[in-house]
Amino acid sequence: MLGHIGAAARAAMRSAWLFAIFALTCGVARADYILLPPEENAVSDGAISLVLMITNETEQPIDVSIPSKLDLRLTTDTEAFNASLEADPPPAVATVELAPQTFRKIRYTGKLPEGVEGTVTIRTRDIRANSLVLALSRTTEPKPGSVIAPEPVVAGASAAPTPTSRFLSALSTYDPIYFAVGTREGANAKFQLSFKFQFFPEDAPLVRQVNFLQDLYFGYTQTSLWDLASSSAPFYDTSYKPRLFYYNAGVWDWPGRKITLGVEGGLGHESNGKSGTDSRSINIAYVKPIFTFGDPRDWHLSVAPMLIQYLQKSDNPDIADYRGYIDWNITLGKEDSWQLTGLFRNGSKGFSTELDLSYPLRAVAVGNLNGYVMLQYFDGYGESILDYNRRRPSQLRLGLMFVR
């Protein structure tokens, strides 16, 4: 009886901690980043100039980061592109104090990727800002001996987004996407697909009234183990992981020390879609504070412990004994160089370690290939949810990572 009371008390304590961390991080005062349309004409194959306005609408000073460049995601009706604009002039300091009820503007300039034209949705990748929808026109082919001025875009004019561009602009990366092959216990493969969908656009009227709505997402990750050695090459197990969550990459930063706190928290489900004795499923509530030390575009360290409360685990009631109550996610790397990511779990009866080492293919293929070459190592219990209480031989796999 006392054991049941103690277990209930521990569960209540974990729930209280989850709620406290989530409420604290959601309530931190922060500045708003507003992306303004071009102040002059722009063309798809030429230079573009955007202005980022940072506002402090609170009643207290706020230390804000001044990005040295804007990493952008451009989506058309059929394609998506990445682009970077540099601050012009470069900021003298990385962090400034913004007085109450004031703002600061920074201009960013650069070249648009080849092939960007028509209705284009522009979103920032590393900071939380509104999206822009612009109509960009290609230049016409000049006749020999003549000079043709590019067809301008009226400053500030926006074209109505199409359903496809609106959908693409709401999609973004979530967990890594990869395909890797190993040979332990016969040839096998592991691959993962993942994305997240933003429910409310940043410029929606409701978001202007209730700001945190722009941070609500649906996420989905699917991880499969593929038995390539058997005659029919069946899938050994697949984990389906939908989530509803709040995510904010920058709720707080420490001025001058390049330390940033982000947060993710919500509800998650994981199951393998099997029946009978092979059925596995859990429902969880979780909070994941994300501590980043250093500039995310340079060498940096990220530590993100995911605190878990199991809401339902009837198919596998002892899964917490092997997974524990914290997923330790640790990343060390640089955007255009090496990156080492680790996932560590430790329960009272088991542990697991997964390490992913990746390097951009552009660096070894003279800029001709996208993606990353990856080396993955796994050891411990539960590489798939089917084997949550079983330790199989460690695995070393080599593969291609599309998103990291």
User: Which are the catalytic amino acids?
Assistant: 269, 271
Buried b (16+ CB within 10 A) or exposed e, 28-37: eebbbbbbbb
Going by C-beta distance under 8 Å and a sequence separation of 6 or more, which residues neighbour residue 40? 49, 155
Buried b (16+ CB within 10 A) or exposed e, 328-367: ebebbbeeeeebebebbbbbeebbbebbbbbbbbeeeeee
CB-based contact 348:234 (threshold 8 Å): no
- What one-character-per-residue DSSP string does 348-395 give? SS-EEEEEEEEEEGGGTTTT---SEEEEEEEEEB-SSGGGTT-BPPPE
Which residue reads 């349309």 in tokens? 37
User: 3-state DSSP call for residue 208?
Assistant: helix
Please state the separation of Cα 138 from the chain's center in Å: 32
Write out the two tokens for 254: 């420490």
CB-based contact 378:392 (threshold 8 Å): no
Other beta carbons within 10 angstroms of residue 165's beta carbon come to 21
Provide the Cα torsion 157, 248, 355, 319; round to 10°: -130
Going by C-beta distance under 8 Å and a sequence separation of 6 or more, which residues neighbour residue 275? none
Report the chain's terminal Cα–Cα distance, integer Å.
47
CB-based contact 228:387 (threshold 8 Å): no
**Residue 299 to residue 47: CA distance in whole angstroms:** 29
Element (H, E) at 146: none
Sheet containing strand 118-124, strands side by side: 32-36, 47-56, 102-111, 80-87, 69-75, 118-124, 132-136
Please state the separation of Cα 199 from the chain's center in Å: 15
CB-based contact 108:88 (threshold 8 Å): yes
